[in-house]
């Protein structure tokens, strides 16, 4: 980052002080509003979080963690089936998904070990249906956008030929904003009532 500031003229090296070139100073001052607008703390925080975020494949030992995430009240409220999931039903679903070759189950981790959410891709011939959720303790920290952004990029390294498709309730403001920020194309969903369909190509 320091190298960029120096090369762009935003900053000066110690060897240049005191800076007497008024043209260089004016150039630096003219550039600064585009970078230092009062939001740089959030940008730096996002960069920091991004460096500490990673993904791993879900394991059998994650079964109970997925059960807790799936039955989180907010998660259920935004799901197309909003009823609580019985544990026996979850067990069957989870182990079936682990065995399916057309499903990717990823756990998002923070600082290499802390699970903070999950993301799933269900693949068919042309599409990959995406589903994700964030642990309640990590919401409101800007991680949702970073997780979705990194997961999409990682997925396209593996399957560049697939169209990623997401379905979101119209009332789910947070998720709708995430998909739109990432450049997904939005249309009304035919498969679900009062929902949007989002599509993104590599």
Range with the poorest average pLDDT among 2-6, 106-110, 155-159, 167-171? 2-6
Q: Where are the domains of the chain?
A: 45-200
Please state which CATH number belongs to domain 45-200.
3.40.630.30
**pLDDT, tens only, 112-161:** 789 999 999 999 999 999 999 999 999 988 889 999 999 999 999 999 99
Element holding 167 (H helix, E strand): strand 163-169
Distance CA 132, CA 136 (A): 13
Burial class (CB in 10 A: 0-12, 13-18, 19+), 102: exposed
The pLDDT value recorded for residue 48 is: 47
Name the residue with higher pLDDT: 65 or 48: 65
Give yes or no for a contact between 196 and 184, defined as CB atoms under 8 angstroms apart. Answer: no
Task: Match 């290499």 to its residue by tokens.
Answer: 112
| Contact partners, residue 168, CB within 8 Å, separation at least 6 | 78, 175, 176, 179, 195, 196, 198
How many Cα neighbours within 13 Å face the side chain of 68? 12
Q: Output the pTM of the full model.
A: 0.76
pLDDT grade for 94, boundaries at 50, 70 and 90: very high
Q: Which two tokens stand for residue 188?
A: 């009304």
| Contact partners, residue 58, CB within 8 Å, separation at least 6 | 66, 98, 105, 106, 107, 118
């Amino acid at each position: 980052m320091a190298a960029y500031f120096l090369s762009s003229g935003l900053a000066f090296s110690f060897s240049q002080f005191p800076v007497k070139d008024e043209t260089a100073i004016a150039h630096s001052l003219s550039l600064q509003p585009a970078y230092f607008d009062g939001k740089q703390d959030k940008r730096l925080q996002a960069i920091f979080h991004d460096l500490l975020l990673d993904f791993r494949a879900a394991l059998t030992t994650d079964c109970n963690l997925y059960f807790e995430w799936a039955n989180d009240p907010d998660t259920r409220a935004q799901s197309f089936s909003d009823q609580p999931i019985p544990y026996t039903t979850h067990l069957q679903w989870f182990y079936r998904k682990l065995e399916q070759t057309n499903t990717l189950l990823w756990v998002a981790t923070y600082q290499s070990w802390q699970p903070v959410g999950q993301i799933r891709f269900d693949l068919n011939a042309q599409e990959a249906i995406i589903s994700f959720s964030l642990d309640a303790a990590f919401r409101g920290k800007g991680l949702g956008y970073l997780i979705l952004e990194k997961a999409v990029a990682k997925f396209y390294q593996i399957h560049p030929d697939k169209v990623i498709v997401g379905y979101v309730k119209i009332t789910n403001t947070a998720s709708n904003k995430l998909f739109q920020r990432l450049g997904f194309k939005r249309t009304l969903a035919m498969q679900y009532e009062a929902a949007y369909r989002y599509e993104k190509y590599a």
